[in-house]
Amino acid sequence: MKTIKAQPLDREAFAKYGVFQDLLDNESLAAHSVLERGFFPDLITLDFGTTTLPTVSVSDVVKRGDKMVIPFMEAHMYTCEGLMPLDGDMILTVGVLGGRKTFNIDNMKAFIVPKGTFVKLNPQIVHGTNFPLGQDEVHMLCMLPGRTFNNDFTAELVPEENRPEVIVEA
């Protein structure tokens, strides 16, 4: 079984997938804002296109057994996606589409996303199953254009024999 080592979220390592911002760190917020305190506007721009309005959704990220195995991958061809763990840290799995927009488990990476850190995924970035870290459940904020799951969604189940396992080294 292929394993993917979860790594801390790092700007350089994550750059080809999107950007992120710790929304609980006032010093970092001030460094990325036109205002220095109290209100930090326009930190990350999300391109949701012009066809539907942006929506806020919540995903319940739950522990699924003893191993963190990726059974599922998805991507959005035309829109970015915003994600943020609200009440705990989580592991986000990401990758890039292969030729002819095919899924490829071999280029998947895993990143540890701290609670309160907003992550923007660029269009055509593959993302797999997310996992809570250190607890059984994490609620994750998800921002997408309305009904993206129906009009800009491509997905693939990973055959059981090819499902990689995400590991976290202590």
Superfamily, domain 3-167:
Ureidoglycolate hydrolase (2.60.120.480)
- What residues contact residue 37 under an 8 Å CB cut-off, 6+ apart? 26, 30
- Provide the pLDDT for residue 105: 87
Whether the model pTM is above 0.85: yes
The pLDDT profile of the chain, 170 residues, written as one tens digit per residue, is 889 999 999 999 999 999 999 999 999 888 988 887 888 888 888 887 777 788 889 999 999 999 999 999 999 988 899 999 999 999 999 999 887 778 888 899 999 999 999 999 999 999 989 999 999 999 999 998 888 878 888 889 999 999 999 999 87
- What residues contact residue 126 under an 8 Å CB cut-off, 6+ apart? 73, 74, 75, 94, 95, 96, 97, 103, 104, 108
- Provide the pLDDT for residue 130: 96
* 8 bridge partner residues: 112
- Provide the pLDDT for residue 74: 92
Nearest to 122 by CA among 98, 105, 86, 97: 97
- Provide the pLDDT for residue 126: 95
Domain spans of the chain, in order of start: 3-167
